[in-house]
Structure 1
Amino acid sequence: MESAGSDSFLRNRRFDSFFNTSSESQVKEPLKIPVKQVEYRSGGPQASNECVDGDGDDDGWFCVLISWVRIVTCFVTMMVTTFIWALIMILLLPWPYERIRQGNVYGHVTGRLLMWILGNPIKIEGADYSKERAIYISNHASPIDIFLVMWLTPTGTVGIAKKEIIWYPLFGQLYVLARHIRLDRAKPTAAIQSMKEAACAIVENKLSLIIFPEGTRSKNGRLLPFKKGFIHLALQSRLPIVPMVLTGTHRAWRKGSLHVRPAPITVRYLPPISTADWTADKIDDYMTMLHDMYIKNLPEPQKPLV
């Protein structure tokens, strides 16, 4: 139930959401994306020539000032859009599936705006695979990764986060209103039950899923070991898995840092991997296969140390 203005604004990309909805609800077909590789420069405020490298730890006071302006602008923008969509969600309380769709619109608008503000050059490869109804997985080394998956995963996608997300001001409450999944990572039994409920809802309502298989954010950008949860979801839902390989985000905004650099970013969708014939006795093999696939497609500074 997107407005005409939103449709126009979002014609190049999309996003996610989930949960306890009517089984006859249908997922809106993702917006069309060119099959060829897409090169896109964000168009936000451009960095000065002194700030374009993105590798150094100290880029000078001017670059730091620009970085702070971008971060504050991102924060204010996110608070404004989150407040607006929280009001929309409250009005839609009797209609769970419409809340999911509006959560998608929120992700498209907010993720796209935040990336425009940060101004990083973005290159998107294999974009045709982003139209699949699937389990999308992504490596995770920066807050920017969240902005990108909000913007780039298709309408009708749900997310998974730790249960503590509810305490994040406005954003956490919107996350719950949009019917996303929350996991209690301190209680394995509760987490397994949440996964089972998620798989059932995904199948019944024809939804997709986005998950970070590392389970946490990498501190140095290097790929961490994968958790098994997404494999269990694939076995229960039989959805294909579409890997999203993000490179450069750890250089653009490092974990624990408040300094954003204009480093170039690449988002690469790999071809869908069928799970139709997967069996529970080979979970470790599937996880190793996908982890090795990321190692093969990541640049050397983001590969795990042996």
Structure 2
Amino acid sequence: MLALRSFAFNLCFYLATTLIAVGGLPTLASQRWVMALARFWARTTLWLLRVVGGTRVEFRGLHNIPPGPLLVGAKHQSALETLALCTVFPEFAYILKRELLWIPLIGWFLSRSGMVAIDRAKGSRAMPLMNAAATAAIGEGRQLIIFPEGTRRAPGAEPSYKQGLSHLYVALRVPCLPVALNTGLYWPRRRFVRRPGTAVIEFLAPIPPGLARGEFLELAEARIEAASNALLASGRADLAASGHPAPEADEGRAGSSRPA
């Protein structure tokens, strides 16, 4: 039954994504139209995931989201949070790797929507370009979303936080909203299966600007990891009770840092 529901969801997801991308080509005329299309795609996917896959997404701590421009530092375990966060922030912008802009159709929409693309091959030379694009996004009142570990990590993997989050925190001087989650239990990376249940995305208390860079990163990592570990424990218990337990080390590579 799990395999059948997973197959049905994946089929519906890729079909809906293709139809929305092709049908939405006229929205490329306007950034605002593209953003509206992205939110529609995300809501459609969450609906399909709930109705076909039996997986709900619960948002906790919405009262912690401050208004206006914001830096969002989110744990990254799955494609699910990438979609789900689009439905929460009214003017979201992602920090993403430049290679995503080369994907046919999808890349066109990413380019038109004003995402902040980073050329990782340039190393430290990419930082000034990221600063300029991120500052412009914040100047437009947008919520800038970054995954501090740089790529999806298996649930329970040893944390591997990079310097991008702390660099932007110091440069942008806006509050940072830490985000914890357990989505990798339900929509595992590089896996066909979609486990039924309730995936949780939790918005933690925002960290105000002004902390020293090292102090901020230590605080952000501690908050995100503690809350994510608690969500993983409750999620595993719920999955075990429902007869769909998740493996302790997803794909047997909990410590892997291979790029997504």
Could you tell me the TM-score, scaled by structure 1's length? Answer: 0.69
Asked if the contact 1:252/1:263 (under 8 Å) is kept, the reply is yes
TM-superposed CA distance for 1:223, in Å, is 5.5
CA drift of 1:104 comes to 2.7
Match in the other structure for 1:144: 80
Q: Does 1:68 align with 2:16?
A: no
- Distance in 2, Cα, partners of 1:220 & 1:265: 12
Distance 1:131 1:300 in 2: 24
Question: Of residues 93, 98, 101 in structure 2, which corresponds to 1:163?
Answer: 98
Verify the 8 A CA contact 2:149 2:160 in the aligned structure 1: yes
Q: Tell me, in whole angstroms, the C-alpha distance in 1 between the residues paired with 2:222 and 2:189.
A: 24
In structure 2, which of residues 209, 221, 241 is the aligned counterpart of residue 291 of structure 1? 221
Q: Is 2:18 aligned against 1:84?
A: no
Contact 2:154/2:188 (CA < 8 Å) preserved in 1?
Answer: yes
- Tell me how far 1:137 sits from its aligned partner: 1.4
The 1:143–1:221 alpha-carbon spacing in structure 2 relative to 1, beyond 3 Å, is farther
Match status 1:270 vs 2:200: no
Deviations 1:186-209 (A, max 9, x none): 211442122211232034322220
Match of 1:9 in 2: none
Given that 2:78 and 2:187 are in contact with CA atoms closer than 8 Å, whether structure 1 keeps it comes out as yes
Q: Distance in 1 between matches of 2:221 and 2:146?
A: 14
Q: Please list every run of 5 or more consecutive structure 2 residues that lacks an aligned counterpart in the other structure.
A: 234-253, 256-260
Check whether the contact 1:129–1:269 (CA below 8 A) recurs between aligned residues.
yes
Q: Deviations over 1:238-288 (max 9, x none)?
A: 1100112112x111121111111113211111122111x23xxx3222111
Give the partner amino acid of 1:142: S
Cα distance between partner residues in 1 of 2:216 and 2:66: 23
Report which of the two has the higher share of helix: 2
Matched residue, 2:128? 193
| Aligned-pair CA distance for 1:115 | 1.1
Residue 117 of structure 2, aligned match among 179, 182, 188: 182
- Shift in alpha-carbon separation, 1:221–1:173, aligned structure 2, 3 A: farther
Q: Which runs of 5+ in 1 are unaligned?
A: 1-61, 93-98
CA contact (8 A) 1:213 1:226 kept: yes
Percent sequence identity over aligned pairs: 22
Structure 1 pair 202–166 and aligned structure 2 pair: CA distance change class (3 A): closer
**Rg bigger for which structure?**
1
> Deviation of residue 63 (structure 1)?
2.0
Matched AA of 1:252 = Y
Secondary structure of the equivalent of 2:188?
coil
Deviation at 1:292, TM superposition (A): 0.7
| Local SS of the residue matching 1:155 | coil
Question: Is 1:244 aligned to 2:179, yes or no?
Answer: yes
How many residues align? The count is 230
SS of 1:244 mapped into structure 2: strand
Q: Distance in 1 between matches of 2:179 and 2:23?
A: 29
CA contact under 8 A between 1:121 and 1:264: conserved in structure 2? yes
Q: Describe the shift of the 1:301–1:203 C-alpha distance in structure 2 as closer, same or farther (beyond 3 A).
A: closer
Contact 1:220 1:255 in 2 (8 A): no
Match among 126, 129, 135 for residue 61 of structure 2: 126
Aligned to 2:46: 115
Question: Alignment partner of 2:24: what SS?
Answer: helix
Q: TM-score, normalised by structure 2?
A: 0.81
Three-state SS of the structure 1 residue aligned to 2:152 is coil
